[in-house]
Amino acid sequence: MRIAIRVSAVLAALFSLATAAEAQSANIQALATVYQPISFTSTRNLDFGNVFPGVAKTIGIAAATSGQFQMGGQASGNVNLTFTLPTNLVFGANNLPIGTWTGCTSPTNTTAGCTAFTPSGSATGSAFSALGALWVFVGATVNPGAAQAAGNYTGTVTLTAAYF
Amino acid sequence: MRPCLLLQLLLLIATATPAAGQSTVTGIRDLNFGVVIRGVQTSVPPSDPIRSGRFYVRHILNRQVQLRFTLPTTLARVAGGGNLPISFAATDAIAQGTAGSSVPVTFNPNNTQTFTLVSSADFYVNLGGRVSPAAGQATGAYRGTVTLTCTFF
């Protein structure tokens, strides 16, 4: 009888050890960086003025009528710039080919010392200045045909900016 | 005879206890929302291969593991002076074994969850979530700690 009780007590103790649970913990971090929104404070049209049939005309980024975007955002924040560009300016049923796009970015409203790039649908990396400012200048070339119809041709250049 | 029987029983029961170091949990990737904009709620799904948080858990095949998260309700601004609300939905956690046949299981990280390991002795736990910056949220870096506690049976 004594032996049976002793064995039972030992078995009970051992079963409690065999089913004992072990707990462990591990940590990770949750991270986020809050930025202010990107804003466009002003724009300027890319204006070729008068062009003549058969005579290509280029407006460079430093020209007084180059296209311009003035942006505000997070100080020193990195930003990707992508463009949607027309292949033609349009006047009614008439197309005026446009291409050979040029661009540059600057922390101030000047092209002196600006960073050149080629506007396209692929992202171009840039950054806001320490004051949260960024200017983007755009130029291009129009190629009127020899029989290009006279008229006011227009098109839309879209700039999309996103932090990265 | 009886002492021999007792010795045999001792040996049998002793082998049923998990060996030390065989069961582990390790944090292997932070939950990283990246850049978020003031006033714009931003989510990271648990399936995001880069931004979701991730843990690795190893135990014993056919045994159970209980998972319990300790989740923050705000992230603290690293430079001080602000808290960024963070929340976790009922579908913001996924567990998946390492075996090719393992099926991912979505579960609620706000609740305790117990799994029986039937396809592999180890598995990954991914965590998503969402942050809700106020319109006037102070800009800058924020961080908080997520803890996963595993109880191994």
What is the ipTM for the molecules in this complex?
0.87
Q: Which of A15, A21, A31 sits opposite B153 (nearest CB)?
A: A21
Instruction: Just give the CATH number of B17-152.
Output: 2.60.40
How large is the average pLDDT for residues B15-43?
85
Asked if A101 and A125 touch (Cβ cutoff 8 Å), the reply is no
Indicate yes or no: CB of B30 within 8 angstroms of CB of A28: yes
Residue B65 reports pLDDT greater than 90: yes
Domain ranges of chain A: 53-163
> How far is residue A124's CA from residue B76's CA, in Å, rounded to a whole number?
33
Indicate yes or no: CB of A14 within 8 angstroms of CB of B146: no
Q: Identity (one letter) of the amino acid at B143?
A: R
Instruction: Just give the CATH number of A53-163.
Output: 2.60.40
| Predicted pLDDT of residue A21 | 80
- Which parts of chain A sit beneath pLDDT 70? 1-20
> How far is residue A63's CA from residue A140's CA, in Å, rounded to a whole number?
11
Tell me the average pLDDT of chain B.
89
Mutate to test the interface with B, among A8, A15, A31 (most CBs of B within 10 A): A31
| Predicted pLDDT of residue A79 | 97
SS3 A129: coil
| Predicted pLDDT of residue A42 | 81
B11 interfacial to chain A (CB closer than 8 Å): no
| Predicted pLDDT of residue B21 | 65
**Chain A residues within an 8 Å CB radius of B35:** 33, 35, 77, 163-164
Domain ranges of chain B: 17-152
Asked if A109 and A136 touch (Cβ cutoff 8 Å), the reply is no
Position B120 confidence tier, pLDDT thresholds 50, 70, 90? very high
| Predicted pLDDT of residue A19 | 54
Asked if A31 and B53 touch (Cβ cutoff 8 Å), the reply is no
SS3 B94: strand
| Predicted pLDDT of residue A14 | 46
Residue B31 reports pLDDT greater than 90: yes
Residue A106 C-beta-side C-alpha neighbours within 13 Å: 17
Residue B10 reports pLDDT greater than 50: no
Residue B128 reports pLDDT greater than 50: yes
